[in-house]
Amino acid sequence: MNATTMAGVEPFELFAIRYGRHTGRRATDNFIGADPHEAGRNLEYFVWVARRSDKVFVIDTGFNATSAAERGRTMLRPPADGVRAVGIDPDQIDQVILTHLHYDHAGSLGAFPRAFFHAQDAETAYATGRCMCHPYLRHPYDVEDVVGFVRAVYASRVVFHDGFSELASGLTLHRVGGHAKGLQVVRVWTRRGFAVLASDATHYYDNFERGLPFPTVYDIGDMMEGFRTVRALADSPDHIIPGHDPRVMELYPPPSAELDGIAARLDVALRESRA
Ligand SMILES: [Zn+2]
Ligand SMILES: [Zn+2]
């Protein structure tokens, strides 16, 4: 579906909510093949909200305080508090999309007590299967989060997807894998065209623009193909929203002055050039 076929479809408002940070990273922590002398960059942590008159989707739930302490991450605010700050009550949310099950994306399911969680078949199988016997591959997962997710399965609160799904006119899921076996990205129709919440398909702008894979990876080939997929799904490179790049908060305006530094509007033009 392209922009010309979207006439009459109400666009979504799209928000990034920043809730955490990891400092002291080396360039080699962020890019396979980085020059070890290159300066490292912070990783920032986000959840996202897509909202229009008939639907609200929360995309990812962020990490919890226990994981933040164990892993030396700074929690700027509980992710659900950030969702509340943009005027959404987490208690009333019924649709949460989980891009994948890493601790920083699926770590506070309990903060959305009425939600159904949209996840890929492949991610569920990966996070509960043989690959988790390998410490390197299970490191980005937290067993308590995964167990909580399985409890949601048994409560009939998980909606499974296999590849492509349309959750609403103008909002679709696309499995890309790579970083995690069942990683999915979210394409969202906005008033500036189709934006793509890439999540960890590209942590930084540099990953897809320089073709540099991120070191947490299940399949490098799929990760590289994922860079092409997010480019193809987005109306322009400026419509791709990386999952962890601090520049997102600089490039996009806050929804209001009080939310400066907490949230950014992704459905409006960048306030400065990325060049
Ligand atoms: Zn991840
Ligand atoms: Zn992540």
pLDDT digits (tens, 9 = 90+) for 62-106: 999 999 999 999 999 999 999 999 999 999 999 999 999 999 999
Q: What is the pLDDT of residue 274?
A: 83
The Cα 144–Cα 268 span in angstroms is: 37
Write down the mean pLDDT value for the chain.
95
The Cα 61–Cα 152 span in angstroms is: 14
Calculate mean pLDDT across residues 199-223.
95
pLDDT digits (tens, 9 = 90+) for 136-157: 999 999 999 999 999 999 999 9
Calculate mean pLDDT across residues 126-139.
97
Contact between 226 and 214 (Cβ < 8 Å):
no
How far away, in angstroms, is 211 Cα from ligand 1 center?
18
C-alpha distances (whole Å) from 246 to each of 178, 191, 255 are 22, 24, 17
Which of the ligands is closest to the CA of residue 245?
Answer: 2
How far away, in angstroms, is 228 Cα from ligand 2 center?
19
The Cα 207–Cα 32 span in angstroms is: 9
pLDDT digits (tens, 9 = 90+) for 257-275: 999 999 999 999 999 888 7
Residue with tokens 């960048």: 270
Retrieve residue 30's tokens. 């962020």
Q: What is the pLDDT of residue 34?
A: 82
The model's pTM is 0.96
The Cα 192–Cα 189 span in angstroms is: 8
Q: What is the pLDDT of residue 2?
A: 60
What single-letter amino acid sits at 114?
A: R
- Where residue 7 falls among pLDDT bands split at 50, 70, 90? confident
How far away, in angstroms, is 7 Cα from ligand 2 center?
34
Which of the ligands is closest to the CA of residue 62?
Answer: 2
Q: How many CA atoms lie within 13 A of 245 on its CB side?
A: 24
How far away, in angstroms, is 59 Cα from ligand 2 center?
12
pLDDT at 1 over 70: no
DSSP assignment of 10-68, as one string?
Answer: PPPEEEEEEEEEE-S--HHHH-TT--TTSPP--EEEEEEEEEETTEEEEE-----HHHH
Calculate mean pLDDT across residues 175-183.
98
How far away, in angstroms, is 6 Cα from ligand 2 center?
31
Q: How many CA atoms lie within 13 A of 216 on its CB side?
A: 18
Q: What is the pLDDT of residue 33?
A: 82
The Cα 185–Cα 266 span in angstroms is: 15
What counts of helices (H) and strands (E) characterise the chain?
9, 13
Q: Which residues line ion ligand 2, judged by CB < 5 Å?
A: 104, 200
pLDDT digits (tens, 9 = 90+) for 26-39: 888 888 888 888 88
The Cα 89–Cα 70 span in angstroms is: 28
Q: What is the pLDDT of residue 5?
A: 77
Which of the ligands is closest to the CA of residue 104?
Answer: 2
Calculate mean pLDDT across residues 220-246.
97
